[in-house]
Structures are given as structure tokens and as C-alpha cells.
Amino acid sequence: MREVRVDNAPAPIGPYSQAVVQGDLVFCSGQLGLDPATGKLSEDAVEQARQALVNLESVLRGAGSSLHRALKVTVYLTDLSRFPEINQVYAGFFAPPYPARTAVQVSALPKGAAVEIDVIALR
């Protein structure tokens, strides 16, 4: 197993890796919509989703992959009623054939975030 760490995505806020590579698979930890330059989180859930996907793309590039090679995506939301708006942002980052996806509402996320997204992708 190989750790992936890139500077253009937020550093882990705990004892975990941004991603790990095992064979031809990349397992990305959940990304919040933190701006990697400032460490700040937008107050808007849609903007958080966009930034989380940008962060994931950076981590995947560091692993020799991209969102276009995603197999499975999980979207965690603190308010599922925002899903239609977030889905529009999500659609701009993926192309057919779309990865499998799960969206779940959770009671809370780290740093008070509204959205967290993780990905499993091919390398």
C-alpha cells in the first residue's frame, strides 16, 4: 500500500491519509470543501461540494488517476434537501459512464461542514 499526499488539497485533520493506492485502486478519504490555500470552509453547501470535488481531483491526480476513473463515490450531506443543487455541481465533474454513487444524510461533519465526499477510483 502506498500513501498519497498532495499539497494542493487540504492536509488531513487526523491520523489518516488523503488517499492510499493498492494495486490499481485509489481509495480517497473524504474531502470537505476546505480551500487548501486558506483552510477556510465556504458557508454555502453547493460551493463546499464544488471545492470538495476539486480537492478530490487534486488527490486523484497525485495518485495517477482522476475523477473520470472513479468507480464509487459517496456524498455525505447534513441536509439532504440540498441534494438537487449539489447534484448539479456533481454532474459537472463526471461524464458517462457515471460512477456508482451513494448519498446519505448525516447529523454532522467535521469542522461544521455541510458536505463531505469520498471516492474509490482506478489508477
What is the residue-averaged pLDDT of the chain? 97
Residue 123's nearest CA partner among 51, 41, 68 is 68
Task: Express each pLDDT in 72-104 by its tens digit.
Answer: 999 999 999 999 999 999 999 999 999 999 999
Q: Let me know if 94 is exposed, middle or buried by CB neighbors in 10 A (0-12, 13-18, 19+).
A: middle
C-alpha distances in angstroms, 78 versus 41, 86, 108?
15, 12, 6
Per-residue pLDDT band at 53 (split at 50, 70, 90): very high
Domains of the chain: 2-122 (3.30.1330.40)
Question: Is 13's pLDDT higher than 90?
Answer: no
State the residue for C-alpha cell 485509489.
26
d(CA 6, CA 114): 23
Task: Express each pLDDT in 106-120 by its tens digit.
Answer: 999 999 999 999 999
Q: What percent of the chain has pLDDT over 70?
A: 100
Question: Is 27's pLDDT higher than 90?
Answer: yes
